[in-house]
Structure 1
Amino acid sequence: MPSGDNSPCRIASFSGFMGDRYDALKTQAETGTGILFGDYLAEMNLAWRALELRKRPDLGYESGFLHHLKLALPAIKANRPKILTNAGALNPKGLAEETAKILSEAGIDLKVAYVEGDNLIHRLDELKAAGETFYHLEDDDRHLKGWEHEGGITSANAYVGARGVYEALKAGADVVISGRCTDASPVIAAAAWYHGWEWTNYDALAGALLAGHCIECGAYVTGGNSSGFTKYLSHYYNFSMGIAEINSDGTFVITKEKSKDGKWNGVVNDITVRSQILYEIQGNVYLNPDVQGIIDDIVVTDEGNDRVRVSGVRGRAPPPTTKAAICGVAGYQAEALVFATGLNVEEKFAALKLQISQFMADKVDQFTTWDMTQYGVAKPDADEEALATAMFRIFAQAKTLEAFGPAKTLRALVNPEGLGHFPGYQSQMDMRTTEPTPYIEYWPGRVSQKHLPLKVTFVGSSKTIDVPAVDNTEPLIPQKDYDSAQALEAGAYGETTRGPLGWIVHARSGDKGGNANVGFFVRNNDEYAWLKSLLSKAEIKRLMGKEYVGNRIERVELPGMLAVHFVLHDYLGKGVSSTARMDSLAKGVAEYLRARYVDLPNQYLDRGKI
Structure 2
Amino acid sequence: MTSDGVFRIAAFSGYAGDRADALKNQAANSGCDVLFGDYLAEMNLATRALEMRKFPDLGYERPFLHHLKLAAPIIAKKRPKIITNAGALNPRGLAEEVFALLDKEGIDDLQVAYVEGDDLMPSLDELSSLGESFPHLEDARPLSSWRLKPASANAYVGARGIVAALKAGADIVISGRCTDASPVIAGAAWFHNWGWDQYDQLAGALLAGHCIECGAYITGGNSSGFRAIKDQYFNFSMGIAEINKDGTFVVTKQPGMNGVVTDVTVRSQILYEIQGNVYLNPDVQALIDDIRVSDLGRDRVRVDGVRGVAPPETTKVGICGVAGYQAECWVAATGLDIQEKFDVLRRQIHENLGDKMKEFDVFDMTQYGVPMENARTEAQGTAMLRVMAQAKDIEAFGPARHLLPLVNPDGLGHFPGFQWQMDSRTCVPVPFMEYWPARVHVKHLPLTVRFVGSIKKIPVPPVSPEETKPVVKQSDYDSPSFNAAKWGPTTRGPLGWVVHARSGDKGGNANVGFFVRHKDEFEWLRTLLSREKMVDLLADEYKGHRIERVEFPGMLAVHFVIHDYLGRGVSSTVRMDSLAKSVAEFLRARHVDVLNKFLVKSKI
Q: Say whether the fold is shared (TM-score over 0.5).
A: yes
SS in 2 for 1:390: strand
> Following the alignment from structure 1 to structure 2, what is the Cα–Cα distance between the partners of residues 587 and 369?
22
Q: Does 1:342 align with 2:340?
A: no
Instruction: Decide which moves more: 14-23 or 444-453.
Output: 14-23
> Following the alignment from structure 1 to structure 2, what is the Cα–Cα distance between the partners of residues 574 and 103?
41
Q: Deviations over 1:101-145 (max 9, x none)?
A: 2222323211110000000111111111111110011222x0111
> Following the alignment from structure 1 to structure 2, what is the Cα–Cα distance between the partners of residues 447 and 490?
47
Q: Does 1:353 align with 2:350?
A: no
Partner residue of 1:562?
556
Say which of 370, 383, 388 aligns to 1:377.
370
Offset at residue 15 of structure 1 (A) = 0.3
Partner residue of 1:29?
27
After TM superposition, list the pairs within 5 Å mapping 1:84-233 onto structure 2.
84-108=83-107, 109-140=109-140, 142-149=141-148, 152-233=149-230
> Following the alignment from structure 2 to structure 1, what is the Cα–Cα distance between the partners of residues 220 and 381?
31
User: What residue identity is the alignment partner of 2:13?
Assistant: S
Say which of 383, 388, 391 aligns to 1:395.
388
Instruction: Decide which moves more: 29-38 or 185-194.
Output: 29-38
Q: Is the contact between residue 283 and residue 566 of structure 1 (CA under 8 Å) also seen in structure 2?
A: yes
> Following the alignment from structure 2 to structure 1, what is the Cα–Cα distance between the partners of residues 546 and 310?
28
Q: Deviations over 1:26-50 (max 9, x none)?
A: 0100024100000000111111111
User: What residue identity is the alignment partner of 2:187?
Assistant: A
User: What residue identity is the alignment partner of 2:199?
Assistant: Y
Structure 1 segments, 4+ long, off by >4 Å, are none
> Following the alignment from structure 1 to structure 2, what is the Cα–Cα distance between the partners of residues 48 and 342?
39
After TM superposition, list the pairs within 5 Å mapping 1:375-524 onto structure 2.
375-471=368-464, 472-484=467-479, 486-524=480-518
TM-score by length of 2: 0.98
Offset at residue 363 of structure 1 (A) = 1.6
Q: Is the contact between residue 148 and residue 328 of structure 1 (CA under 8 Å) also seen in structure 2?
A: no
Q: Is the contact between residue 286 and residue 295 of structure 1 (CA under 8 Å) also seen in structure 2?
A: yes
Partner residue of 1:585?
579
What RMSD, in angstroms, separates the aligned Cα atoms of the two structures? Answer: 1.0
Partner residue of 2:63?
64
Offset at residue 94 of structure 1 (A) = 1.0
SS in 1 for 2:486: coil
Offset at residue 197 of structure 1 (A) = 0.4
User: What residue identity is the alignment partner of 2:289?
Assistant: D
> Following the alignment from structure 1 to structure 2, what is the Cα–Cα distance between the partners of residues 313 and 19?
31
Q: Deviations over 1:202-234 (max 9, x none)?
A: 000000000000000000000000000011111
Offset at residue 414 of structure 1 (A) = 2.8
Q: Deviations over 1:576-609 (max 9, x none)?
A: 0000000000000000000000000000011111
Partner residue of 2:298?
305
Q: Is the contact between residue 332 and residue 436 of structure 1 (CA under 8 Å) also seen in structure 2?
A: yes
SS in 2 for 1:491: helix
> Following the alignment from structure 1 to structure 2, what is the Cα–Cα distance between the partners of residues 431 and 35?
45
> Following the alignment from structure 2 to structure 1, what is the Cα–Cα distance between the partners of residues 369 and 388?
16
User: What residue identity is the alignment partner of 1:207?
Assistant: G
**Structure 2, unaligned runs of 5 or more:** none
Partner residue of 1:271?
264
SS in 2 for 1:122: helix
Offset at residue 347 of structure 1 (A) = 1.4
SS in 2 for 1:368: strand
Q: Does 1:51 align with 2:44?
A: no
> Following the alignment from structure 1 to structure 2, what is the Cα–Cα distance between the partners of residues 336 and 228?
33
> Following the alignment from structure 1 to structure 2, what is the Cα–Cα distance between the partners of residues 493 and 266?
36
SS in 1 for 2:484: coil
Q: Deviations over 1:509-552 (max 9, x none)?
A: 00000000000000000000000000000000000001111110
Q: Is the contact between residue 330 and residue 440 of structure 1 (CA under 8 Å) also seen in structure 2?
A: yes
Offset at residue 490 of structure 1 (A) = 2.0
The sequence identity of aligned pairs, in percent, is 68
SS in 2 for 1:586: coil
Offset at residue 51 of structure 1 (A) = 1.1
SS in 2 for 1:387: helix
Offset at residue 148 of structure 1 (A) = 4.0
Partner residue of 1:244?
241
Partner residue of 2:523?
529
> Following the alignment from structure 1 to structure 2, what is the Cα–Cα distance between the partners of residues 148 and 69?
41
Q: Is the contact between residue 397 and residue 406 of structure 2 (CA under 8 Å) also seen in structure 1?
A: no
> Following the alignment from structure 2 to structure 1, what is the Cα–Cα distance between the partners of residues 313 and 491?
50
